[in-house]
């Protein structure tokens, strides 16, 4: 419960270049007597695609046979073809928003008074792969929150239309488009030291207020407008500006590694290895690496759930749809199990 309270005290601002996943609910044993009233919101095999032949319970427990079976399935041609959902599907499926939300089992009410009283704001960046976006949105969606979706201007027209169709079904999901140019830069304003850090952040309301109102930050953002990847230094720089709520001194000693931060859990290829080795931080990736980051496979789930992070990246239905499917089922069941009867 402590983690959930902490989460509720924060406004969440997250960039999502790829699939991120909510793991916000604290670990508790599932109560088999949980409120049957909401059992219709559980994801069942009937909602699933071809992934439903997998035994998710065994997969989450890391049972070798189940993982082997899942792996085999993910490399089967027919299976890969069948799990794919074209962008056009979302345009059709959202013609009837009510039906779309119902069949996709979106939450249409806050899960607790506490959550209702503490709405969160999310910021997501999307380039492609609408299915990943829709599944992430469904995982983090609650009617009391606000979602700001930035679709890359260079995205395909079908991505734009599909995301626009999905967002039009929700009054609290907004879509904006993004720009990236290149000119010679003047030095940053106020001699602010430019520091790098995580593009995926969880911050308080006070921090957001500073971003919107503090003159130093407004000038910094104006300066950063035409830089290539502002998210990789902007938040980290603001995080070290004196007086910003939640800020720390710019000394390295305050820096936190991915593994200790709560915003996202990530496996960098060069930190992977076997247990007991002094160099390795975590076990090897069971999915595949994209730009040295692990795109998780079903075999990573057990390890993921042993950690305290709110999000993990990356997931991709093109790499391992079973990992996503089992995690979705597990998280929804857990969220519902915590409802007061
Ligand atoms: C799925 O796996 C669990 C745990 O290994 C096992 O208890 C259960 O019987 C399995 N279910 C099916 C349908 O095989
Ligand atoms: C379009 O959506 C409707 C219901 O929303 C569904 O019955 C129909 O099968 C869909 N058509 C296609 C081609 O996906």
What is the DSSP secondary-structure string of 191-207?
GPPP----SEEEE-HHH
Residue 128 inside a domain? The answer is yes
Q: What is the pLDDT of residue 264?
A: 86
What tens digit of pLDDT does each residue of 219-246 get?
888 888 777 677 778 888 888 888 899 8
Q: What are phi and psi of 200, to 5 degrees?
A: -105, 110
Same domain, 113 and 92: yes
- Give the residue numbers spanning the domain of 115: 86-180
Residue 338 above 90 pLDDT? no
Q: What is the pLDDT of residue 341?
A: 60
Same domain, 98 and 176: yes
Same domain, 200 and 245: yes
What is the number of helices (H) and of strands (E) in the chain?
14, 10
- Per-residue pLDDT, averaged over 267-287, amounts to 92
What tens digit of pLDDT does each residue of 10-67 get?
333 333 333 333 444 444 445 555 556 788 899 988 887 899 999 999 999 999 999 9
Residue 314 inside a domain? The answer is yes
Q: What is the pLDDT of residue 275?
A: 85
From CA 68, how far away is CA 38, in angstroms rounded?
Answer: 33
Same domain, 175 and 90: yes
Other beta carbons within 10 Å of 67: 21
What is the DSSP secondary-structure string of 136-197?
HHHHH--TTSEEEEEEETTS-HHHHHHHHHHHTT-TTEEEEEE-----PPPPPGGGPPP---
Residue 10 inside a domain? The answer is no
- Per-residue pLDDT, averaged over 306-321, amounts to 92
The rounded Å distance from CA 118 to ligand 2 centre is 37
Same domain, 329 and 264: yes
Q: What is the pLDDT of residue 122?
A: 94
Residue 41 inside a domain? The answer is no
Q: Is 92 in the pocket of ligand 2 (CB under 6 A)?
A: yes
Residue 42 inside a domain? The answer is no
Strand partners, 211: none
Same domain, 121 and 148: yes
- Per-residue pLDDT, averaged over 193-211, amounts to 81
- H or E element at residue 121: strand 121-126
Could you tell me the pLDDT band of residue 145, with boundaries at 50, 70 and 90? very high
From CA 183, how far away is CA 328, in angstroms rounded?
Answer: 43
Nearest ligand by distance to the CA of 92: 2
What tens digit of pLDDT does each residue of 149-188 get?
999 888 999 999 999 999 999 999 999 865 474 445 666 6
Q: What is the pLDDT of residue 252?
A: 82
**Number of folded domains that form the chain:** 3
Global pTM?
0.82
Residue 193 above 80 pLDDT? no
Could you tell me the pLDDT band of residue 253, with boundaries at 50, 70 and 90? confident
Same domain, 331 and 275: yes
Same domain, 317 and 328: yes
Give the pair of three-digit tokens for residue 245: 């709520």
315: Cα separation from own chain's centroid = 9
Q: What is the pLDDT of residue 187?
A: 67
Q: Is 27 in the pocket of ligand 2 (CB under 6 A)?
A: no
Q: What is the pLDDT of residue 261?
A: 81
Active site (annotated) includes residue 232: yes
Q: What is the pLDDT of residue 126?
A: 92
Same domain, 90 and 79: no
Q: Is 95 in the pocket of ligand 2 (CB under 6 A)?
A: yes
Other beta carbons within 10 Å of 294: 25
Same domain, 200 and 161: no
Residue 280 above 80 pLDDT? yes
From CA 121, how far away is CA 305, in angstroms rounded?
Answer: 24
Catalytic residue, chosen from 42, 115, 116, 232, is 232
Residue 294 inside a domain? The answer is yes
Q: What is the pLDDT of residue 339?
A: 80
What tens digit of pLDDT does each residue of 82-122 get?
999 999 999 999 999 999 999 999 999 999 899 999 999 99
Residue 78 above 80 pLDDT? yes
Could you tell me the pLDDT band of residue 70, with boundaries at 50, 70 and 90? very high
Closest CA to 58 of 340, 253, 301, 293: 301
Same domain, 239 and 266: no
Residue 133 inside a domain? The answer is yes
From CA 65, how far away is CA 68, in angstroms rounded?
Answer: 5
Residue 185 inside a domain? The answer is no
Measured from the CA of 95, which atom of ligand 2 is nearest? Answer: 5
User: Which residue's alpha carbon is nearest to atom 10 within ligand 2?
Assistant: 92
Closest CA to 269 of 254, 249, 252, 283: 283
Residue 337 above 50 pLDDT? yes
Residue 312 above 80 pLDDT? yes
Residue 199 above 80 pLDDT? no
Same domain, 198 and 229: yes
**Averaged pLDDT score across all residues of the chain:** 84
């Amino acid at each position: 419960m402590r983690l959930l309270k902490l989460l509720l005290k924060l406004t969440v601002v997250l960039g999502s270049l790829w699939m991120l996943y909510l793991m916000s609910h604290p670990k508790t044993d599932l109560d088999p007597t949980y409120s049957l009233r909401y059992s219709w919101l559980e994801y069942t095999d009937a909602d699933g695609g071809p992934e439903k032949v997998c035994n998710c319970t065994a997969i989450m427990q890391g049972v070798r046979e189940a993982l082997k079976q899942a792996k085999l399935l993910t490399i089967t041609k027919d299976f890969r073809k069948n799990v794919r959902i074209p962008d056009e599907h979302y345009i059709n499926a959202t013609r009837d928003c009510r039906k779309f939300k119902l069949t996709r089992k979106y939450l249409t009410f806050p899960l607790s008074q506490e959550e209702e009283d503490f709405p969160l704001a999310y910021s997501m960046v999307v380039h492609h792969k609408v299915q990943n976006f829709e599944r992430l949105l469904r995982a983090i969606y609650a009617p009391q929150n606000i979602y700001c979706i930035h679709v890359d201007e260079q995205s395909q027209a079908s991505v734009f239309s599909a995301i626009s169709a999905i967002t039009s079904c929700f009054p609290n999901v907004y879509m904006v488009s993004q720009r990236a140019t290149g000119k010679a830069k003047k030095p940053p304003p106020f001699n602010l030291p430019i520091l790098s850090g995580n593009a995926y952040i969880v911050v308080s309301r006070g921090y957001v207020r500073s971003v919107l109102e503090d003159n130093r930050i407004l000038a910094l953002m104006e300066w950063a407008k035409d830089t290539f990847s502002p998210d990789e230094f902007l938040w980290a720089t603001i995080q070290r500006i004196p007086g910003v709520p939640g800020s720390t001194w710019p000394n390295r000693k305050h820096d936190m590694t991915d593994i200790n931060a709560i915003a996202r859990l990530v496996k960098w290829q060069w930190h992977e290895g076997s247990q007991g080795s002094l160099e390795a931080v975590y076990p090897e990736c069971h999915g595949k690496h994209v730009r040295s980051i692990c795109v998780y496979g079903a075999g990573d789930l057990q390890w993921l759930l042993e950690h305290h992070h709110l999000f993990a990246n990356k997931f991709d239905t093109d790499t391992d749809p079973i990992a996503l499917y089992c995690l979705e089922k597990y998280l929804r069941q857990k969220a519902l199990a915590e409802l007061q009867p």
